[in-house]
Structure 1
Amino acid sequence: MLRGVLFGLGLLSGTMLSQSAFAEAARTLQIIVSKDKQSMVVYDGDKVVATSKVSTGKAGHTTPSGIFSILEKRKYHESNIYSNAPMPFMQRLTWSGIALHEGQVPNYPASHGCVRIPSSFAQTLFQMTERGVHVVISDAPVEPVPIEHANLFTPLKPLPTAPLLSDVDLRPTAMKRKPAGPVEVAMNSAGAGQDPMTTGSLEAVVPENAAPLRILIQRRGARETMLDVQALLTELGFDTGTPDGLAGPMTRAAIAGFKRWKALPDDGPLLGKEFLAALYHSAGQKEAPLGQIMVRQNFEPLFEAPVGIKDPEIALGTHFFTADHIERNAETAEWHTVTLPNALSAEEMKQFGIETPADPSRPGAAAAALDRIEIPTDIRERIATLMSNGTSLTITDQGLGPETGKGTDFVTLTRTQPNPAQAQDSIAKPRPARRSQNASTYRSIGLY
């Protein structure tokens, strides 16, 4: 209710409310753009906050579809590709150049890839959002719907910040005989009337203004397999260098050493099936899980770990979930979801061993995907401890795309055809994603 009031007043005047008030409300916003309808709808949960017409990319400069977030905001910006064309109230979605910005909106696709917004609405939207607000771009219109599922994360209740009965003198007693009535236990009067198990605070761990988590669950690819290889070889005494998912000289030397140890052939693929089976067996582990969970916060990698995927021969599809109304003491949260069409190529299906494609029109498709994900308890608890309003989860078969990199949330590109032409940007020349030089590890799994 409060957020609705804030945004309603904001539509009337951008100067009536403090920026901090809008920032708190903005984190649960979700912007959905339909290329078919040339429309934009701003949601808070499943409530419509604002609507507008837009103009997306014309033929040859198609606006990419997918799940994005606002990376940068500038009241005035000029294109460095298209003759310094003015782009007021620019809100960047990718570092390669897609953005929302003020421009001509002729009721049909006319941009060079960006999403143009009418002048009357661009400034209002700019004031409503902050960095990190999600933007979903699809062909046909989609809308968030409420979802409840046991596999969705819920916040953990605060723990006490001090030992129970910390200043109560405990005196030994001898019970001479069975008491005739109830036994009273002295408690610290300072906490009278409070539940000692819920009087603590997570403020030191989760500040009130903590940035929401960005969570991605994907199928494991070559990078995740190499991370496993590096971790297992290190446990067996081989030096692979810093685990980074890359086949560098030290990693290649360690792999060659293991093959000599196990009398495995050194020709053929670097990570062949025989090599992987021998490595996991030597480390006393089963075959690697098929999925990976990755967590970011403030546009930076936080941690990642393997997860299981049931029925791996069936595609998961692409589903986007957002959390709102988090009540930590009650350990509850409200989730909404959007399912997006996302066609896999024949090569991708072969790579992941997928035999049955996803059906985004199937009722309950998002819940069916959640049913198949197996998340370790310690990972679930860590996320539950850190999550805040606006936390999001993306489930997809495809891995990290080319737009996910340094200074981004997870950018998931989707497509209705297996091999569409890639759209060119209209803001900046492509900037390759860069890996953080200070990437650390969590549970022997390297950051991306």
Structure 2
Amino acid sequence: MFKSIYLGIGLLALTAFSSATLAADGGTLQIFVSKNQQSLTVYDGGQIVATSKVSTGKSGHTTPSGVFSILEKRKYHESNLYSNAPMPWMQRITWSGVALHESNSVPSYPASHGCVRLPGAFARSLFQMTERGAHVIITDAPVAPQLISSRTLFTPELPADNSMLLSDAQLRPTNFDGSEIPVEVAVAEVLPKVGASTSVTLEKLPPLRILITRRGVREMVFDAQEILTDLGFDAGQPDGHIGPMTISAINGFKRWKGLPTKGEIMTAEFMRTLYHAGGRGEPPLGQIMVRQKFKPVFEAPITIDHPEKALGTHFAEATAVNRFSGKAEWHGVTLEDYISSATRKRLGITDDQASDSMAAALDRITIPDNIRHKIALLLDEGSSLTINDTGIGPETGQGTDFITITHRNPQG
């Protein structure tokens, strides 16, 4: 199923579009806000479909930059933080209080308490265009999505061999397991007539939210718990948390291998030794995480080449996804993002120069074939991919997609 809404009317100014025209399915729309230009641009893939002026947060109440998605929509809402201030046509992008909404004061300079203020007519039309989950990308300087090509990007796969799916015969509905997502297809009970055509009907799948990042302590602890248990050390149920049983198992392993038990628990030397003892080679440095419908689905370790160099922060969304032909188009952007020296040290980044494009970052990433296949079976229109070095931020939680907060390079 295709959800693109090519309107054929070029750039739409604030006063030019009608809500009826733009009430089409908005699953692939991306909203870009530039704080420097105080502007908002709506894209469908690489095509601009609407623009408007905005007012973002003033000094002391700065609107955060990064990759967000629409978490909640209300035609009318009152602020819980600022004296019940009215917020018509509210589209929430963080649970901590940031939203897009209508305002009578949109002076084309920063004036809000952190929200993105929109003119009245535009706020209503934008509300009618979007769906929950639509992405909102907020930057300082304006950015625009570009078509990206990389062997690492995902393409869709059908859950069953086409040769098994027949029509123009006596048909009955059947479910094939499409990797945890039921897919309704048509299966012949009798042999088809000569010249019968082949057809299949696939359910529309909710878009995936994919994050590629560096492994954090939680992921390393989870692996350590599994390997320690396999080696006969009782580390408790693998949960990614360092409890008394896990500490006891780690120290027991360290004593066995002659490693120091004082000081930091999860050292690089401990992880390398543990992985080798468990027959797992070198510890992976990357992690891929997948969400769908604001909930975690699965995650897995991946490989990052040249880990001493920052990946950078990048975002892309899949459009023109054709599950029959196995093709998809990805449009993406690279975002400015400053990483502090303390964080770089923690992550083992010694080369300050990050990958300058999403394609360059993708070329450094290797994803196991079984994980690629699992994603390919679930990939559909509007799925997105975020790459960053710092992992899941504090705004990501229950009832959210992956939220990435970016930071401006401090001025000297």
**Corresponding residue of 1:283:** 278
**Corresponding residue of 1:108:** 109
Change (3 A) 1:370 1:193: farther
The letter of the residue matching 1:346 is S
Pairwise CA distance, 1:408: 0.4
The letter of the residue matching 1:80 is N
Matched, 1:399 2:400: no
SS class of match (1:246): coil
Q: Which runs of 5+ in 2 are unaligned?
A: 170-189
Change (3 A) 1:404 1:192: farther
The more displaced of 153-162 and 96-105 is 153-162
Contact 1:158–1:199 (CA under 8 A) maintained in structure 2:
no
**Corresponding residue of 1:241:** 236
Q: Which has the larger radius of gyration?
A: 1
Distance in 2, matches of 1:155 and 1:401, equals 28
- Superposed CA deviations along residues 128-161 of structure 1, whole A, max 9, x for unmatched, are 1110000000000000011122111001135248
Contact 1:160–1:200 (CA under 8 A) maintained in structure 2:
no
Say how many residue pairs are matched.
382
Change (3 A) 1:125 1:200: closer
Matched, 1:367 2:359: yes
Q: Scaled by the length of structure 2, what TM-score is found?
A: 0.86
Matched, 1:215 2:210: yes
**Corresponding residue of 2:82:** 82
SS class of match (1:127): helix
Pairwise CA distance, 1:55: 0.2
Contact 1:100–1:114 (CA under 8 A) maintained in structure 2:
yes
Change (3 A) 1:34 1:251: same
SS class of match (1:26): coil
**Corresponding residue of 1:91:** 91
SS class of match (2:308): coil
**Correspondent of 2:299 among 304, 314, 324:** 304
The more displaced of 350-359 and 215-224 is 350-359
Q: Which runs of 5+ in 1 are unaligned?
A: 168-187, 421-448
The letter of the residue matching 1:349 is R
- Superposed CA deviations along residues 297-328 of structure 1, whole A, max 9, x for unmatched, are 00000000011011111111111011011111
**Corresponding residue of 1:438:** none
Change (3 A) 1:256 1:50: same
**Corresponding residue of 1:3:** 5
Change (3 A) 1:271 1:163: same
Pairwise CA distance, 1:2: 6.2
Distance in 2, matches of 1:191 and 1:308, equals 50
When the two chains are superposed, the root-mean-square deviation of aligned CA atoms in Å is: 2.6
- Superposed CA deviations along residues 69-96 of structure 1, whole A, max 9, x for unmatched, are 0001111111111111111111111111
**Corresponding residue of 1:148:** 149
**Corresponding residue of 1:48:** 48
Change (3 A) 1:252 1:398: same
Change (3 A) 1:125 1:368: same
Change (3 A) 1:30 1:220: same
Change (3 A) 1:232 1:191: farther
**Corresponding residue of 1:178:** none
Pairwise CA distance, 1:349: 1.4
**Corresponding residue of 2:382:** 390
Superposition map of 1:81-230 within 5 A: 81-103=81-103, 104-160=105-161, 189-190=191-192, 192-193=194-195, 203=202, 207-208=203-204, 210-230=205-225
The letter of the residue matching 1:321 is A
**Corresponding residue of 1:327:** 322
Change (3 A) 1:286 1:144: same
Identity within the alignment, %: 57
- Superposed CA deviations along residues 86-118 of structure 1, whole A, max 9, x for unmatched, are 111111111111111111201110001110101
Distance in 2, matches of 1:139 and 1:371, equals 27
Distance in 2, matches of 1:274 and 1:245, equals 19
- Bigger strand fraction: 2
- Superposed CA deviations along residues 254-282 of structure 1, whole A, max 9, x for unmatched, are 22332344454321211234432331122
